[in-house]
Amino acid sequence: MALSALHLYSKDRSRSELFDRACFLQGVAIQLVQPVIANLRQEDSLAALMFSSHTSAFGLAEYMLNPHHDDTDPIDKIVECFQLSRGIKLVVSPHWPYLSQTWLNKLFNSESSNEDRIRASLASEFPTYSVVRSLAFGQEDADRRKCCLETIEDIFTFIGASSHHPQDYPTAAHLIDQWAVKLPVVFKDMLIERKPIALIILAYWAVLTSINPRPWHLRGLAEVLIARIEDIIGDEWAEFLRWPREKVIENARAVQDTPAQTPRFDDRNVDSRLHGMRLSRGSSLNHSSTEAQSAQLSPCTVAGEQGNSRANTRNNPSPYLSASEHLSPYNVGSNNHSPFSQSPSTG
């Protein structure tokens, strides 16, 4: 219901009550589901998996559609959503045998027969593939080097598969979500640290999100991400972002969306808008993993001077935080809060 409310709001931005209702419903949903996931049973695993998918989509759609948008760094929002995907994967993993027997079996077995062929020809298919891999080989830490090499191979493969064989997958967002679910925690840490190699790989994920037909909740996200990544790493790395930037522009121009359909971005003037788009908030480069996330406001949160009654959570307990002592599924394997843990009270 929360995601549906956001979808309706994306169609008619004059109905601001839909955005408020969406945030309220999402807060209630998370409050209700946390005790279920903390003690997840096999019969609830399918619902938990679907809930996590919808929640991740909600987080990105909320970020793009927020009518009172603050300066939340889109990189931090992406990290939150990636962490949610990783957390729920660990929680439901004991129930994979059961899940593979449900109607989701098609999703689990949807790997395209074309992917092996694409993987074998990445160097010839994508001129930038070898260049980006050379950056990965420059990582001194063995775990980080291995992580970067694997994520680079996957993202180029998924771009090729999504571009040339979209019919092989059940939804337009399938490979976008699959890449996020597979990400190891070390890559998340590199994003938080704003490592150039991780940000460049993320720029290629932005390309994947821009391939048409673009899922409605991801419209405009690629443009915002590319602009933010350019802002962080500067001219020194501009050449490594040239191809992702050009592909995002090309894909945006291919769609004749109206400004109302593409939130916060107008495809009709994509080149100049992309060049000029910058966020005022500084990089979290000097923050530790915990500090980098806890310092960021939720895109729901609007400063009190903007007049939003849902803002300012300092004196109000958040409905997004579990009252129990159980480990939240959104914190699995890390000390990071839920993507919605800093959101305003819906009470």
Mean pLDDT of 42-58: 86
**Kind and range of the H or E run holding 36:** helix 16-38
Range of weakest confidence among 28-37, 152-161, 243-252, 261-270: 261-270
Residue of 195, 236, 240, 241 lying closest to 222 (CA atoms): 241
- pTM given for the model: 0.70
Query: Residue 16 domain-assigned?
Result: yes
Per the CB < 8 A criterion, the answer to whether 218 and 172 are in contact is: no
What pLDDT sits at residue 169? 85
Give me the residue label for tokens 């970020």.
Answer: 63
State how far Cα 132 lies from the chain centre: 21
Query: Residue 267 domain-assigned?
Result: yes
Calculate what percentage of the chain has a pLDDT beyond 70. 70
How many domains does the chain divide into? 1
Rounded alpha-carbon distances, angstroms, from residue 297 to 122, 229, 344:
39, 19, 10
- 240 exposed, middle or buried (CB, 10 Å; 0-12, 13-18, 19+)? buried
Residue of 184, 203, 204 lying closest to 141 (CA atoms): 184
CA distance 346 to 84: 21
What pLDDT sits at residue 322? 31
Per the CB < 8 A criterion, the answer to whether 26 and 58 are in contact is: yes
User: For the packed helices 221-233 and 196-210, what is the interaxial angle rounded to 10 degrees?
Assistant: 160
Is pLDDT at 126 greater than 60 in this prediction? yes
Within 10 A of 153 (CB to CB), how many other CB atoms are there? 15
Mean pLDDT of 44-52: 86
Q: What is the pLDDT of residues 204-232, one digit of tens each?
A: 999 999 998 888 888 899 999 999 999 99
What pLDDT sits at residue 91? 77
Query: Residue 75 domain-assigned?
Result: yes
The domain of 257 spans 2-331
Q: State the pLDDT confidence band at 112, using cuts at 50, 70 and 90.
A: low
Residue of 92, 88, 84, 87 lying closest to 59 (CA atoms): 84
What pLDDT sits at residue 159? 96
Rg (CA), the chain: 20
Residue of 136, 2, 17, 130 lying closest to 61 (CA atoms): 2
Is pLDDT at 342 greater than 80 in this prediction? no
Q: State the pLDDT confidence band at 337, using cuts at 50, 70 and 90.
A: very low
Give me the residue label for tokens 């399938």.
Answer: 174
- Peptide linkage before 213 cis (omega within 30 of 0): yes
Structure tokens at 144: 């980080």
Query: Residue 268 domain-assigned?
Result: yes
Mean pLDDT of the chain: 75
Per the CB < 8 A criterion, the answer to whether 260 and 11 are in contact is: yes
Q: State the pLDDT confidence band at 256, using cuts at 50, 70 and 90.
A: low
Mean pLDDT of 233-241: 93
Highest mean pLDDT among 115-124, 297-306, 310-319 belongs to: 115-124
Query: Residue 32 domain-assigned?
Result: yes
CA distance 266 to 303: 26
Is pLDDT at 160 greater than 50 in this prediction? yes
What pLDDT sits at residue 107? 63
**Contacts by 160-165 with C-beta closer than 8 Å and gap 24+?**
160/118, 160/122, 160/125, 160/126, 161/112, 161/114, 161/115, 161/118, 162/208, 162/211, 163/211, 164/114, 164/118, 165/112, 165/114
Query: Residue 342 domain-assigned?
Result: no
Query: Residue 40 domain-assigned?
Result: yes
Query: Residue 340 domain-assigned?
Result: no
